[in-house]
Amino acid sequence: MSGLGVIPIADIPEVVAGELLADLIAAAAAAQGTPVLDGDCIVVTQKIVSKAEGRIVPLAPDDLDARRELIERESSRILRRRGDLFISETTHGFVCANAGIDLSNVDDGSAALLPVDSDRSARKIRDGLRARHGVDVAVVISDTFGRAWRRGLTDVAIGVAGLAAVVDLRGSSDARGRELFATEVAVADEVASAAELVMGKAAGIPAAIVRGLDPTWFRESAVAELIRPPAEDLFR
């Protein structure tokens, strides 16, 4: 029996530009009695990554023109529009609402843009935890996206370091010894979703530890593994 633990990291102080998230995370986890350990995967929400990286821009809440310009600037392509809602492909290749621009949990009159390169953001946290805190972990940067077909939002990975974004089980056998097909599992997305269950949108918990993941999933990776090329996509 090898289970998972999902531990919220509470009491991370308000993040300002230039701060080292690795230090904030290590300190908060230790302070609550659950220090970060080798083999953990740390899930960090986009919001505090964007704040630490200074990706906060002014945006008046009622200025719909400025909002639209910002969405267009952060997008390579608008896929659908309904009223104020834009579904676009971001410059990173993510398909999400409003180019991932976030108005909650930031100061009034400002908006949080997605990190420029969330894999790099994840690596920086991972490297910081290793170099300054002596722990070897994986890091997932998470954000809250909608889906086609299904109602409700789920958290997904927008950046990874040290954890397979997708685990390819093709060619493995199922429990009856027959070859499996179509079994690329989006492990990093499932890790982000698991972490969301302890963070809660309103609770202001911006990070969590996922402990007990399969050690074979720890490898160099990139979130691009999770991006379906438009040519492969039957719904774009």
Find the binding residues for a second copy in span 100-139 (CB under 8 A). Answer: 103-108
Does residue 222 belong to the site contacting a second copy (CB under 8 A)?
A: no
In degrees, rounded to 5, the angle at the alpha carbon of residue 156 between the alpha carbons of residues 195 and 115 is 105
In the list 1, 13, 18, 215, the residue contacting a second copy (rule: CB under 8 A) is: 1
Name which of residues 153 to 172 contact a second copy (CB under 8 A): 153-156, 165-166, 169, 172
- Tokens standing for residue 88: 């676009």
Out of 95, 99, 138, 139, which residue is the one contacting a second copy (CB under 8 A)? 95
Regarding 80 and contact with a second copy (CB under 8 A), the answer is yes
DSSP 113: P
The nearer residue to a second copy, 130 or 222, going by C-beta atoms, is: 222
Q: What is the DSSP letter of 180?
A: P
Q: Which one, 22 or 101, has the nearer CB to a second copy?
A: 101
Counting contacts by CB under 8 A, is residue 5 touching a second copy? yes
* AA letter at 15: V
How do beta strands 167-168 and 184-185 pair?
Answer: antiparallel
Q: Output DSSP code: residue 173.
A: B
CB of 16 to a second copy, least distance (A): 14
Pairing of strands 138-145, 41-45: parallel
Least gap, CB of 159 to a second copy (angstroms): 14
54-73 residues in contact with a second copy (CB under 8 A) are none
Q: How far is CA 84 from CA 87, 151, 157, in A?
A: 10, 18, 25
DSSP for 92-106, please give it: TS-EEEGGG-B-TTS
The binder of a second copy chosen from 13, 65, 150, 231 (CB under 8 A): 150
Per-residue mark of binding to a second copy, 172-211 (x: CB under 8 A): xxxxx-x-xxxxxxxx-xxx-xx-xxx-xxxxx-------
> Min. distance of Cβ 131 from a second copy in angstroms?
26
Q: In DSSP terms, which residues pair with 211 in a beta bridge?
A: 5
Query: Residue 147, interface with a second copy (CB under 8 A)?
Result: yes
- In the three-class reduction of DSSP (H, G, I as helix; E, B as strand; rest coil), residue 22 is classed as helix
